[in-house]
Amino acid sequence: MDTIEIFQEKLHSKIKVLNETTWESKVKKPKIDKWLNNFSDDKEKYHALFLLSNFMFFGNIQIRQLLISLYRDLYKYPIVESIRMADNNIVDPKVIKERFYISRKNTRFLGL
């Protein structure tokens, strides 16, 4: 086995892990091999395999979690903090909830 083949096997292993952990098992080895046949020589195939092994894919689960985190960290928490600070560190959950509801009611979210 030459050096290129060893690196290709390592890249295939890395892609297998990516597929199982973040790509939602959508890209199996036969599909990758078929895709690699679009490249003319082994050097191009090696470079394509390298690029694929560094490809970041965010599936539905990851996107949903990112959106939840964005909403919480960049929208909800700052508003709740400003509500509390505006009223001498109020801790009454009912008051905070009511004021947050008013703020949320006046906010529009757009999916782009």
Query: What pLDDT sits at residue 1?
Result: 65
Amino acid at 69: S
Instruction: Give the per-residue pLDDT at 90.
Output: 87
Torsion (CA) 69, 19, 48, 50 in degrees, nearest 10 = 80
Query: Dihedrals φ, ψ of 87, to 5°?
Result: -130, 50
- pLDDT recorded at residue 38: 94
pLDDT attached to residue 12: 87
Q: pLDDT tens-digit profile of 82-102?
A: 999 998 888 899 999 999 999
Nearest to 48 by CA among 56, 36, 40, 65: 36
Name residues of the chain where pLDDT drops below 70: 1
Q: In whole angstroms, what is the distance from residue 18 CA to residue 67 CA? A: 22
Closest C-alpha among 51, 56, 21 to residue 36: 51
